[in-house]
Amino acid sequence: MSGLLALLDDVAGIAKVAAASVDDVAAQAAKAGAKAAGALIDDAAVTPKYVHGFAPARELPIVGKIAWGSIRNKLLILLPLGLLLSSFAPWAITPLLMLGGSYLCFEGAEKIWHALFPHETMIDPNTPDEGDPMHLEEQKVAGAIKTDF
């Protein structure tokens, strides 16, 4: 009889450990979900500057195009690339992040430089009419999607 009680005690102990680990998994999944949502929603703050000046009927379709393009970039390109890097070359992650930060610093400095010292832009006669709303929309959407990289 004592053997049966010891066995039941062991089963109860295993059940407690399993329940505790399930709670840990749920907590970690919630943390990961919040971080992933933050990565996917990062374009929401940028979007209003991209839809400014368009007809109100086109604002939501533009936001939708930007969101789908951003999700596609993150799920099909950035996530697999990040997983491959973390698996096969974890030493390369820090230098790549530093390189990306340096590029952002360069872009910021260039934007300040052009604001302080504006210059005439070259006009290519082969480019489509800048006043065409569809062309402007395509340019804005493509520019917003490229910001993920």
Give per-residue pLDDT as tens, 14-37.
Answer: 777 776 666 666 677 777 666 665
Name which of 41-55, 106-120, 128-142 the model is least confident about: 41-55
Per-residue pLDDT at 44 exceeds 80 = no
Is 3:26 a contact under the CB 8 Å cutoff? no
Residue 141 has a pLDDT of 79
Residue 110 has a pLDDT of 92
Selection from 32, 64, 35 nearest residue 51 by Cα: 64
Give per-residue pLDDT as tens, 66-89.
Answer: 888 888 888 888 889 989 999 999
Percent of the chain at pLDDT above 90?
A: 17
C-alpha atoms less than 13 angstroms from C-alpha of 21 in its C-beta half-sphere: 6
Say what the pTM is: 0.53
Helix axis angle for 133-146 and 56-73, nearest 10°, is 30
Q: Provide the 8-state DSSP code for 149.
A: -
